[in-house]
Homo-oligomer: A and B are copies of this chain.
């Protein structure tokens, strides 16, 4: 590390419950829900959605849509499936330019939204997925205190989120050429990433790893296997998605 530099830290939390909101105060948080919330949000913004407004509760999402009125789409899932009366589910493929271009998307998923709420005291909150991995890492390169929060699924650690967390830890070190002070979960995630998909040259090894993950198995069970391949398209988009903590809106940066 160059002399005079402050120590830079990157911590991983394998579940939202493994970090208390005050621990994130003033830090840069990165929320991960690979299958599928953060992947879908990046697709929506990359395809021209004006903004994505995340809601934990279906009724609150409906009420907000009614309040805004025109130009709004309701998207999200419960149990992996589209919610009654919603125009969109939680498949990245549904969020095409034709559908979401210029629109506000009101979006509700359980695990991803909960992870975002856990970051309410952070300085800023980015959303990461494999489809915007390098863009996120570039954005993080100037940040000195980074906390990556994995959404998991219903309180269970998931391998898909852990692998992306590990990929970010790994890429950050390479990109900046700096050493980061890590917590053990960051080391475990980076180890897991290197071992699982190591010297990745295509997306196939990642797709295989994601199929075997908890989230991947769930998607196969409900007939959404195609979404796994979409989530495995590393760097498909050069876009940073950021949640504004005051307005609670996610926009492309």
Name the one of B157, B193, B195, B196 contacting A185, with C-beta atoms under 8 angstroms.
Answer: B157
Contacts of A15 in B (CB 8 A): 18
Number of copies: 2
Contact residues of A between 130 and 188, Cβ < 8 Å to B: 156-159, 162, 183-185, 187-188
**Once bound together, how far apart are the Cα atoms of A203 and B190, in whole Å?**
22
**A184 contacts which chain B residues (CB < 8 A)?**
156-159, 162, 213-214
> B-contacting residues of A (Cβ < 8 Å)?
14-15, 18, 156-159, 162, 183-185, 187-189, 191-196, 212-214
Some 26 contacts from A to B, beta carbons below 8 A apart, are A14-B14, A15-B18, A18-B157, A156-B183, A157-B184, A157-B185, A157-B188, A158-B184, A159-B184, A159-B187, A159-B188, A162-B184, A162-B188, A184-B213, A184-B214, A187-B192, A187-B196, A187-B213, A188-B188, A188-B192, A191-B192, A191-B193, A191-B195, A192-B195, A194-B195, A195-B195
Residues of chain B within 8 A of A162, CB atoms compared: 184, 188
Residues in B with CB closer than 8 Å to A159 are 184, 187-188
Complex CA–CA separation, A159 to B184 (angstroms): 5
* Chain B residues whose C-beta falls within 8 Å of the C-beta of A214 in the assembled complex: 183-184
Complex A-B, nearest 4 residue pairs according to Cβ-Cβ distance, in ascending order: A195-B195, A191-B192, A191-B195, A159-B184
Given contacts A187-B212, A194-B195, 20 further A-B contacts (CB under 8 A): A14-B14, A15-B18, A18-B157, A156-B183, A157-B185, A157-B188, A159-B184, A159-B187, A159-B188, A162-B188, A187-B196, A187-B213, A188-B189, A188-B192, A191-B191, A191-B192, A191-B195, A191-B196, A192-B192, A195-B195
